[in-house]
Amino acid sequence: MEMNKFEKYFFEEPKDCVVMKWHHYLKIYDNHFKRFQGKNPTILEVGVSEGGSLEMWNHYFDGECFIYGIDINETCKDIPKKLGASNMKIFIGSQEDRVFWNTFWASPL
């Protein structure tokens, strides 16, 4: 059985960040997101953790996407620099905080 692009990345590519995904999600992701390849999608990742998902999304879309990340940990702000990615922006705040979300959605992204 041939692997899709998520699976090839997950199982075969070297990574700069730890990816924490259940491997059975990879087929589901590919099924739903392959139609956005080459269309410069905007992605919002809530819960950046160590940045592995950001790196995975960026790889899947060949760097032709913009990724916003949200996390409560200040060190997550360093992930775009670690990845050498100018198409990522990290916001620090809690997903439980309505004031944070109101500010996030009101800000010019």
Q: Closest Cα to residue 66, out of 30, 21, 36, 95?
A: 36
Q: What is the pLDDT of residues 17-48, one digit of tens each?
A: 888 887 888 999 999 999 999 999 999 999 99
Q: Report the predicted TM-score, pTM, of the whole model to 2 decimal places.
A: 0.89
Task: Give all domains of the chain, ordered by start, each with its CATH number.
Answer: 5-106 (3.40.50.150)
User: In the structure encoding, which two tokens stand for residue 108, read together?
Assistant: 């010019």
Q: Which letter does DSSP use for residue 6 in this model?
A: H
Q: What is the pLDDT of residues 93-102, one digit of tens each?
A: 999 999 999 9
User: In the structure encoding, which two tokens stand for residue 86, read together?
Assistant: 């100018």
Q: Closest Cα to residue 66, out of 58, 75, 74, 76?
A: 58
Residues 6+ apart with CB under 8 A from 39: none
